[in-house]
Amino acid sequence: MRFDKVIAGGTVVTPGGTFVGDVGIIGEKIAALGTELDDEGADFIPATGHLVLPGVLDVHVHLELPFCGTVSADDYRTGTRAGARGGVTTVIDFAIPSAGGTLAQAADTWMRKAEGKSLIDYTFHICITRWQEQKDQIADMVARGFTTFKEFMIYESEGWQSDDRALFGTLEQMREHGAMLLVHAESARVLDELIARHHTPEEMQRWGAQLHRITRPNFIEAEAIERAVRWCEVTGGQLYIVHMSTAEGTDIVRAAQARGVPVLAETCVQYLVLDDSVFERPDGHLFACCPQLKGRNDIDRLWEGLRRGEVSVVSTDTCTFTREQKAMWNGDWTKIPMGMPGLETLLPLTYTQGVLGGRLSLEEMVRKLSTNPARIMGLAPRKGAIQVGADADVAIIHPTSTRRVDPAEMETNADWSPYEGMELAGFARTTLSRGEVIVDDYRVVGREGRGQWLPRTSAGLAPRSDAAPVAAPRDASPSPFRDHRVEIHLG
Ligand code: URP
Ligand code: ZN
Ligand code: ZN
Ligand code: ZN
């Protein structure tokens, strides 16, 4: 076989096992795996002494998002360049309808943000913000290739909040269409009450940005996950908890999965490596994200959840704000633009703290960053694994050589980093996207706008059912989900 490119001599992580050898690429696809592949006439990409991993899918990002009275500072140009440098080859963003807007208009708006700018492939989760008005638009969006939807249980002031009626009804529709509902789970009414209690000049003077964590005890997330899981259980619609940050949430997901409830969970790398003591720093307000960082116990439980399979995906929730934007808080924690940069450091942090830190095997990390997100988001077998026939999306990293996180040298528009000063291995020496080298020797060389939109026909692990029974008794049919979950463990 004649190849266009051969990645030679690396330690290649595939779903079938890890081997030292070569990856042969023809056009945009992986054409062969083996040892001593014929590289005559092919571009030779040396990988001896390096790890050859599938490109990372960051399935939770917000690029150029109007939020908290400003617009997040990484757009499709800087955000995807940052991602590529961290081995990310696919992003999934959230298309959010404007006031009075339709789901289709939201998708069109996000298409325009990405087109001509994105370095890597992309698609969007479609956010449902007013279900009563938008419910009849869901089938059309599935037909257009969007199979994941999102509802927020908070953010009334943004006009994004969904109630239980919407969650319940949308989950029924997910079952009907073989689609998946992503949920931001926080308990809005109790959170409002806690914020109101602390929103006094005296408290703000005394506690500053620490009020962000004081007003969001773990039960705020746990109660909301519990409720969403209940609606998932009685409808049978596939549910995916985004940015899960608590030990309690992980326990609830574990118990639900053991009952055969089709719920999956994602955490974000910041919840695995940072704890809420950062709010005590003079610049603690920079670290405000939503949900906020939690304690050491939560960090340990989330890593354990990743190992045990209760947490399937690690993403970033990238929502970058500069120091100037963060300064809008002016002493009132409810006005901090919530979110942090993350795309550039997802793989380096997960690799350094997870694999080198002895918390995850290399293969487990690849499942959480690539294989599982691709399968769950309906992008497999095209994305997420080094296997014949898949897109040649590849990240080549050195196993031990580290770089110091310095915002001045990064692709993100952020002028700070939550990880500043950390020594991290796992930045991409080389990134390939559909067979094209877009990062070479740690520098972005790919052309902006080359990224493509990715249509999908499925999502989640629960089977599609046109019967769509409402509140079917749990024992009526054996759960197909259990078996699928075992696959995720082994996958
Ligand atoms: O702080 C965050 N995560 N900002 C983005 C919005 C969200 O809830 O994901
Ligand atoms: Zn969220
Ligand atoms: Zn988010
Ligand atoms: Zn920069």
Q: How far is the CA of 72 from the centre of ligand 2 (A)?
A: 14
Name the residue at shortest CA distance from atom 8 of ligand 1: 290
Name the residue with the closest Cα to ligand 1, atom 7.
Answer: 290
What pLDDT, on the 0 to 100 scale, is given for residue 474? Answer: 40
Residue-wise pLDDT tens digits, 51-77: 999 999 999 999 999 999 999 999 999
CA 315 – ligand 3 centroid, Å: 10
Closest approach atom of ligand 1 to CA 68: 4
Among 449, 357, 346, CA closest to 57: 346
Residue with the smallest CA separation from ligand 1 atom 9 is 317
Structure tokens at 13: 């992580």
* Host H or E run for residue 233: helix 218-235
Which ligand 1 atom minimizes the distance to the CA of 289?
Answer: 1
Per-residue confidence (pLDDT) for residue 464, from 0 to 100: 53
Dihedral Cα 83, 84, 87, 92, nearest 10 deg: 50
If one looks up domain 55-376 in CATH, what number appears? 3.20.20.140
Q: How far is the CA of 77 from the centre of ligand 4 (A)?
A: 12
Confidence band for 477, pLDDT divided at 50, 70 and 90: very low
* 269-292 residue pLDDT tens: 999 999 999 999 999 999 999 999
Cα 303 to Cα 164: distance, rounded to the nearest angstrom: 30
pLDDT confidence of residue 475 = 40
Kindly write down the DSSP assignment for every residue of 83-110, as one continuous string.
HHHTTEEEEEEEE-PPTT--HHHHHHHH
Nearest to 172 by CA among 144, 145, 135, 137: 135
Quickly list H helices, 259-295. 269-273
Residue 185 CA: which ligand is closest?
Answer: 2
Q: Could you tell me the pLDDT band of residue 182, with boundaries at 50, 70 and 90?
A: very high
Percent of the chain with pLDDT over 70: 94
Evaluate whether 216 touches 290 at the Cβ level (below 8 Å).
no
Is 295 in a helix, a strand, or coil? coil
Residue 109 CA to residue 131 CA, distance in Å, equals 19
The closest-lying atom of ligand 1 relative to the alpha carbon of residue 155 is 8
Report the pLDDT value the prediction gives residue 77, as an integer from 0 to 100.
98
* Helix, strand, or coil (residue 129): coil
Q: Taking Cα atoms as reference points, which of 15, 121, 86 lies closest to residue 396? A: 86
Query: Is residue 480 a contact partner of residue 262, using CB atoms and an 8 Å limit?
Result: no
pLDDT of 483 > 50? The answer is: no
Domain 5-53+387-400+423-444 has CATH 2.30.40.10: yes
Q: Work out which ligand 1 atom sits closest to the CA atom of 243.
A: 9
Residue 151 Cα to ligand 1 midpoint, Å, equals 12
Mutate to test the pocket of ligand 1, among 91, 158, 271, 290 (most ligand atoms within 8 A of CB): 290
CB 289 within 8 Å of CB 319: yes
What 8-state DSSP symbol labels residue 250? H
Distance 25 CA to ligand 1 centre (A): 37
| CB contact set of 464 (below 8 Å; sequence gap of 6+) | 175, 176, 177, 178, 458
Query: What stretches of 229-341 adopt beta strand conformation (E)?
Result: 238-241, 263-268, 313-315
Any idea which ligand is nearest the CA of 407?
4
Checking if the pLDDT of 479 tops 60, the result is no
Ligand lying nearest the CA atom of residue 61: 3
Bond from prior residue into 97 cis (ω within 30 degrees of 0): no
- Give all strands of the β-sheet with 56-61 in edge-to-edge order: 56-61, 88-95, 121-127, 148-152, 180-184, 238-241, 263-268, 313-315
Protein residues with CB under 6 Å of any ligand 1 atom = 62, 184, 289-290, 317, 319, 338-339
Rounded to the nearest angstrom, the distance between the alpha carbon of 243 and the centre of ligand 1 is 9
Within 13 Å, how many C-alpha atoms sit on residue 183's CB side? 34
Which residues are in the CB-under-5-Å shell of ion ligand 3? Answer: 317
Query: What atom of ligand 1 comes closest to residue 184's alpha carbon?
Result: 8
Q: Which regions of 17-158 does DSSP assign to beta strands (E)?
A: 17-26, 29-34, 43-46, 51-54, 56-61, 66-67, 70-71, 88-95, 121-127, 148-152
- Mutation test residue for ligand 1: of 63, 154, 212, 319, the one with most atoms within 8 Å of CB: 319
From the alpha carbon of 242, which atom of ligand 1 is closest? 9
Among all ligands shown, which has an atom nearest to the Cα of 315? 3
Residue owning the nearest CA to atom 3 of ligand 1? 290
Q: What is the DSSP string of 349-393?
A: HIIIIIITTTSS-HHHHHIIIIIHHHHHTT-TTTSSS--TTSB--
Beta strands (DSSP E) in 161-206 are 180-184
Instruction: Dump pLDDT digits (tens) for 255-265.
Output: 999 999 999 99
Instruction: Round to whole Å and give the CA distance between 371 and 168.
Output: 29
State the Cα–Cα distance between residues 132 and 186, nearest whole angstrom. 21
Query: For the segment 305-332, what is each residue's pLDDT rounded down to a tens digit?
Result: 999 999 999 999 999 999 999 999 999 9
Q: Is the pLDDT of residue 351 over 70?
A: yes
pTM for this model (two decimals): 0.95
| Residue spans per domain, the chain | 5-53+387-400+423-444, 55-376
Residue 461: per-residue pLDDT: 86
In this prediction, residue 481 has a pLDDT band, given cuts at 50, 70 and 90, of very low
For residue 462, name the pLDDT band (cuts at 50, 70, 90). low
Which atom, in ligand 1's list, is nearest to the CA of 152? 8
Which ligand is nearest the CA of 93, by number?
A: 3
